[in-house]
Amino acid sequence: MKHIPRKRFGQHFLADEGIIDAIVREIAPRPGDPMVEIGPGLAALTQPLVERLGHLTVVELDRDLAARLRSHGQLRVIESDVLKVDFGALAQELAPGQDAALRVVGNLPYNISTPILFHLLAFAGRIADQHFMLQKEVIDRMVAAPATADYGRLSVMLQWRYAMENVLFVPPESFDPPPRVDSAVVRMVPRAQPAPVRPPLLEELVQTAFSQRRKLLRHTLGKWLDAKGFAGNFDTQRRAEEVPVDEYVALALELP
């Protein structure tokens, strides 16, 4: 029975064999790798992955798709909202005793891709790498350099924790049904020794800085720093997009 894509889940199923092969090459799965796939859908990427891995854990919210996937003998199916999945516990289960071992892949639903990225941020210490297909404009923001229009909160929060690379362009016609946007594949490798900032503090700092992009930081971040009792030196005569990631991180480390 043909599965009808569900708009509420943001379902667009990958159907281009050439693109699928290219994504698998970028992921480079090896037999026995502890890997989790988010949103396997109709298993277009799942099947070539599991053929190389031997076994694969998948997270699928759609109960009809989850039921189909359970019939595959080499898959373990977690029927759940991915935002409720404890990837730290999964890493401990799939790669006990190994640090930064879990590999995570997926075609992320466009409507919740950013919340998924922030959810995974908390588990980056147990993850070896992540390969995600996303809306191209989201990846452009993820990898953006300072002083560009795409540089923002997402750029800073993710670049602090990951080295990232846009590795593949995916046109709309690669999907069924075709989305109205271009897609791309990003590789995310957690940094081995990230600066030991408190993520909630860095997120609050960055969110405040970019809350009014066109204004100088003295109107936003400057007032926030004053309220925190910050007595250090930080140039607030700039706009948020002019400040490199390492300066935001250094500022977060100085705060009480």
Please indicate, yes or no, whether residues 61 and 160 belong to a single structural domain of this protein: yes
**Residue 148: domain span:** 7-190
The better pLDDT of the pair 125, 3 is held by 125
164 in the same domain as 236: no
* pLDDT at residue 12, as a whole number: 62
Does residue 235 belong to any structural domain of this protein?
Answer: yes
pLDDT in tens, 68-90: 999 988 999 999 999 999 999 99
Share of the chain above pLDDT 70, in %: 95
Number of domains in the chain: 2
Question: Residue 210 maps to which CATH number?
Answer: 1.10.8.100
pTM of the model: 0.90
Statement to judge: residues 165 and 219 lie in one domain: no
| pLDDT tens profile 173-197 | 998 778 788 999 999 999 999 999 9
Of 14, 18, 181, give the one whose Cα is nearest residue 106. Answer: 14
Residues 84, 19, single domain; the answer is yes
Within this chain, do residues 99 and 166 fall inside the same structural domain, yes or no?
A: yes
Evaluate whether 153 touches 208 at the Cβ level (below 8 Å): no
210 and 152 share a domain? Answer: no
Task: Tell whether the model's pLDDT for residue 159 goes beyond 80.
Answer: yes
Residues 160 and 86 in one domain: yes
pLDDT at 191: 96
Does residue 1 form part of some domain?
Answer: no
pLDDT at 1: 46
Note whether 41 and 155 are same-domain residues: yes
Domain termination site, one of 139, 158, 190: 190
Q: What is the DSSP letter of 42?
A: T
Distance from the Cα of residue 90 to its chain's centroid: 17
User: CATH number for the domain including 22?
Assistant: 3.40.50.150
Positions of E strands within the chain: 13-14, 35-38, 56-60, 75-79, 102-107, 127-135, 162-170, 175-176, 183-190
One domain, residues 165 and 213: no
Largest CA distance in the chain: 65
186 and 203 both lie in a single domain: no
Which of 171, 190, 209 is where one domain is finished?
A: 190
Query: Are residue 96 and residue 205 in the same domain, yes or no?
Result: no
Given 172, 190, 208, the domain boundary residue is: 190
Side chain identity at 187, as an amino acid letter?
R
Specify whether 100 is located in the same domain as 214.
no
Burial environment of residue 4 by CB neighbours within 10 A (0 to 12, 13 to 18, 19 or more): exposed
